[in-house]
A and B are shown apart, each in its own frame.
Chain A
Amino acid sequence: MDFLRPATWEEALAAKAEHPTAVPIAGGTDVMVEINFDHRRPEYLMDLNRIGELHEWETEDDSVRLGASVPYSKIMERLRTELPGLALASHTVASPQIRNRGGVGGNLGTASPAGDAHPALLAAGAEVEVASVRGTRLIPIDDFYTGVKRNALAPDELIRAVRVKKADGPQQYAKVGTRNAMVIAVCAFGLALHPETRTVRTGIGSAAPTPVRARAAEEFLNAALEEGGFWDNGRIITPSLARQFAELCAAACNPIDDVRGTATYRRHAVGVLARRTLTWTWESYRGSARTSKGAA
């Protein structure tokens, strides 16, 4: 195995162009497990840790450009306001030691359906910034996951950053595991309210071959909220509306039975998480709407 250590992003892209089979490694929290278990023996390993900009983030007017290697612990501590869904997801990642090393770039590169960041990125409507010697492109997160542990990257491309719009409304994230910390998701759910566009977006983890959105549930809810004037009048979401939304989210799953849980349970649990996260975010939205009215 050859170990490549590019000093700059340009060197990294050149090396990746020359060795398209090179496996990039940053925190190593996924790749090293695979190598230690001999599940993969890459011809080239490309260490990205010398490239400082991957560990940085830029806060722009309405979005955050989050370097691929920014560790989860930093997202939790520094980006709670801008990226609340992703910050909540980061809290659920493994242990403090792993959260200090692992970042979103690794989750996207591995593209496991169980990656904790995916539902939050789907709900927020992120874009993945990828680059090669041929240039840079932005892949909408909806198009990024192409199969079980497969993504839309070309062989010569590397993940540079994710661009996520700053939250314009409440976001939530919840994950089911059979332990109260340090656990791989049995299933996970992310939900973001986007009052600016009057839409709700979702993300489901570990309950289908890839991370997915519950599109039918979103469409149903968007229409119901619009029709009932919910965004303006701040009405309570009725239990029946929440239940229908939850059922549609559960129906968006295509889970399997495995050692971590049954398919039936996963579908059920995604429904429960959908209902709860909708309630939490909507109550928060109503609360903030009331506060701003009161202030005005």
Chain B
Amino acid sequence: MPNGAPTKITQGSWTKGGIGESTLRPDGTLKVTGEFAYSSDMWHEDMLWGQILRSTVAHAEIVSIDTSEALATPGVYAVMTYDDLPTEVRTYGLEIQDTPVLAHGKVRHHGEPVAIVAADHPETARRAAAKIKVEYRELPVITDEASATAPDAILIHENRTDHHCGHVPHPNIVHRQPIVRGDVAEARRRADVIVEGEYHFGMQDQAFLGPESGLAVPAEDGGVDLYVATQWLHADLRQIAPVLGLPEDKVRMTLAGVGGAFGGREDLSMQIHACLLALRTGKPVKIVYNRFESFFGHVHRHPAKLYYEHGATKDGKLTHVKCRIVLDGGAYASSSPAVVGNASSLGVGPYVVDDVDIEAIALYTNNPPCGAMRGFGAVQACFAYEAQMDKTAEKLGMDPVEFRRLNAMSQGAVMPTGQVVDSPAPVAELLRRVKARPMPPERQWESSEGADVRQLPGGLSNTTHGEGVVRGVGYAVGIKNVGFSEGFDDYSTAKVRMEVVAGEAVATVHTAMAEVGQGGITVHAQIARTELGIGRVTIHPADTQVGSAGSTSASRQTYVTGGAVRHACELVREQVLEIGRRRFGSYHPAWATAELLLEGGKVVTDGGEVLADLVDVLGDEVVEIEREWRHRPTEPFDLRTGQGNGHVQYSFAAHRAVVEVDTELGLVKVVELACAQDVGKALNPLSVVGQIQGGTTQGLGIAVMEEIVVDPRTAKVRNPSFTDYLIPTILDTPTIPVDVLELADDHAPYGLRGIGEAPTLSSTPAVLAAIRNATGLELNRTPVRPEHLTGMA
């Protein structure tokens, strides 16, 4: 095992730490003090360093690749191109296997992997890669809907055979999902006001702090052990093994320390490259991207153009919504089809509208590939429909919160897909709560010593002492699905073991769940304590020696893998009680007649009578159970009408943003972003608040600063660094008061609701609404930059 590989973590005291308690993360202190071993910290004796050569142009035919000089570099062990791949499987992909392991004949986006190098020093590998000569014949770039669907457009992917290619209107469209319900033409006639809008959503990066990295160690049996920071071990495995020509049991994967993910690790990055080089050289190979490479090494959030029409009667009821959402998927499919499904099915927002006409598409272009990111299609739609709700309210002369309340969905509402929302949907209540909060004081920057610039737009840059500063307030609410949708078999697996160790009954929980910061590591231990009535729980490192846990995405892990852990614990408990009945049943009638519980390390009756100590019940026996667990099945959306029970569960959050805008310079200070969210049941309240605050901040980022800028003439990324891709600092992050509702969803374990994404949705439109309120500007794009606020774009 390499240095820095994960080890078992035992948590917990004797009786505390069940669900509902704010137990602390076992890795929290290590991370804060810099001692946590991230995937980039791993080290193995005799290891080599891998380096990827990436395309310098976005769209080109590869005329030739000359690796001779790189191969001749002292310290270089291997150089591989497409021609060196060991099997006929040379592409991969989450849903559509359209992504080349190494470019073949053509590159389709800036930064596409063309060749890989292994050397005994990272700098040697880097310099050798730079010596590889690639001759490109450049092709025109496709960068938007018009260029992608032009009659003579070059096809990004020729000869498509994927299961979407039959129903798309153009081969440069990955997937199209219409959703039609009711009669929009008829409803339109009832509308007293009609509001149209066109919106643009910029390309956001996940900007996780730990760049892509991992270590592949060749094994004696011809297989490989791969330690990597990822979001879904088994999905990686399914894509890696065929390219290597190995059966899946010879590619043994272990999750290494993950420094954030937010969707950006759902697709493969360096996994196959490291394995290829390790198998080729017979030596362990480590690959670590730097920040520059990381901007090219993972998919981003889809930029989008969104066209909306809302109609309403003068008493404030929505008559209809028409919309068209064009997502730019970039050069490869990644999870674009599922993002289309979300954007379309959630495209109206948490409102009751009987007559809808929705269309969402994702394009193939030569822009950077886009895929999963926190909020997944629902984020782009929420930005647009919430702007529309404000615009419509204004046209009606109504208060924007009151207008939302009049149209808010509640339990029993019917989605545009025809699906009935069959658990609490407290949309109006969430809005009421954020609105009822006291306002932060006016002119909060004033102190006895003058203006505190840290509280003003511009912050430490000292651009205003109050001049030009105007306050604005804005509201937004959003709806996000939880779990994988559209008929996907979205299961998880947990293995739970119970035994006596050193005179104490302990449990071990083993899943393949990727802990990326979401807190599953804490929650699994809490569930085991609650279900098994013991204190000490060990969390086994996540690996592929246990069944799939599914992805750490879609706000699903506490629901699905948490559900699997609970289910396995219940089965273990039954077996433990069975052992107890066998051993001690004859001593007390309650073993046969009473409902038995495990509490405080003992078997007790529901009346509280202690029957036996678990240590005595178990003795030398080990109880171990591995089981898959599934939530309710979902259905695909009809390809023509979009009808279908496509989603597992819905999650709702609302925000109120209070901003100060320097209207002369176009600089923004978000003063407060209050959030209210229904979480069903807070398994770990501290983690819940942390997730909501983090999601809120990520939403603020896309509102006022975060954007990958792609040159429309070349399709090249212009700002692949933290110097020019800005994420919020603590001075940009406002106070985030959080109001947590717990309205149980009876279909979910403990009534819980997935929480990680919903706050990312409504945060952005709330901030935009507040800036519009302060400036009176229309602001149809996000992020909003100083030049947009000053008319200098």
Contact = CB atoms under 8 A, between A and B. Distances in A.
A36 B719 CA distance: 17
Q: Which of B126, B454, B786 has the most CB of A within 10 A?
A: B786
A115 to B, nearest CB: 14
Given A37-B292, A180-B669, A272-B664, A173 B462 contact: yes
B705 A272 contact: no
Nearest to B667: A176
A181 B787 contact: no
Contact of B463 (A37, A38, A273): A273
A262 B793 contact: yes
User: Among the interface residues A261, A264, A276, A280, which one has the most CB atoms of the partner chain B within 10 A?
Assistant: A276
A181 B460 contact: yes
A276 B460 contact: no
Interface stretch (A59-67, A155-163, A182-190, A230-238): A182-190
B460 A91 contact: yes
Contacts, number: 97
Nearest to B793: A262
Contacts of B457: 180
16 contacts: A91-B460, A172-B462, A173-B462, A174-B458, A176-B667, A177-B458, A178-B667, A178-B705, A178-B726, A179-B726, A180-B460, A181-B459, A181-B460, A262-B787, A265-B787, A279-B467
Nearest to A189: B463
Contacts of A204: none
A176 B786 contact: yes
Contact of B709 (A182, A259, A273): A259
A269 interface: yes
A280 B723 CA distance: 30
Can you list the 7 inter-chain pairs with the closest CB atoms, starting with the nearest? A180-B459, A265-B792, A181-B731, A265-B787, A180-B731, A175-B461, A264-B792
A175 B667 CA distance: 11
A92 B731 CA distance: 13
A88 B732 CA distance: 20
B790 A265 contact: yes
Contacts of B459: 179-181
B interface majority secondary structure: loop
B465 interface: yes
Residue from B454, B669, B724 having most chain A Cβ neighbours under 10 A? B724
Interface in A245-290: 259-262, 264-265, 268-269, 272-273, 276, 279-280
Contact of B723 (A175, A184, A273, A279): A184
B454 to A, nearest CB: 8
Given A259-B719, A268-B792, A183 B461 contact: yes
Given A181-B731, A272-B665, A174 B463 contact: yes
B785 interface: yes
Contact of A180 (B461, B465, B468, B723): B461
A33 B216 CA distance: 29
B729 A268 contact: no
Interface string B707-728: 0010000000011000110101
A31 to B, nearest CB: 15
Residue from B462, B724, B728 whose CB has the most chain A CB atoms within 10 Å: B462
Nearest to B664: A272
Given A262-B787, A262-B793, A280 B461 contact: no
Contacts of B785: 178, 261
B292 A179 contact: no
Interface in A59-97: 88, 91-92
Nearest to B459: A180
A276 B461 contact: no
A265 B339 CA distance: 36
B464 interface: yes
A178 B786 contact: yes
Contact of A269 (B665, B704, B731, B732): B665
Given A181-B731, A272-B664, A92 B461 contact: yes
A185 to B, nearest CB: 8
Interface residues of A, number: 32
A184 B724 CA distance: 8
Contacts of B292: 37
Contacts of A179: 459, 705, 726, 728-729, 731-732
A262 B792 contact: yes
A181 B463 CA distance: 12
Interface string B691-713: 00000000000001100010000
A181 B462 contact: no
A175 B731 contact: no
B469 to A, nearest CB: 12
A66 B570 CA distance: 71
A172 B729 CA distance: 24
Given A37-B292, A92-B460, A261-B786, 10 more contacts: A91-B462, A174-B463, A176-B667, A178-B785, A179-B731, A179-B732, A259-B709, A259-B719, A269-B786, A273-B665
A105 to B, nearest CB: 21
Contact of B462 (A37, A174, A182): A174
Interface string B455-480: 00111111111011000000000000
Nearest to B725: A259
Interface string A107-133: 000000000000000000000000000
A46 B669 CA distance: 42
A55 B790 CA distance: 42
Nearest to A182: B729
Nearest to B463: A174
A92 to B, nearest CB: 5
Interface string A127-152: 00000000000000000000000000
Contacts of A184: 723-724
Contacts of A264: 787, 792
Interface in B280-297: 292
Contacts of A175: 461-463
A183 B704 CA distance: 14
Contacts of A174: 458, 461-463
A91 B718 CA distance: 28
Contacts of B454: 180
Contact of B465 (A186, A261, A280): A280
B416 to A, nearest CB: 37
B719 A276 contact: no
B786 A186 contact: yes
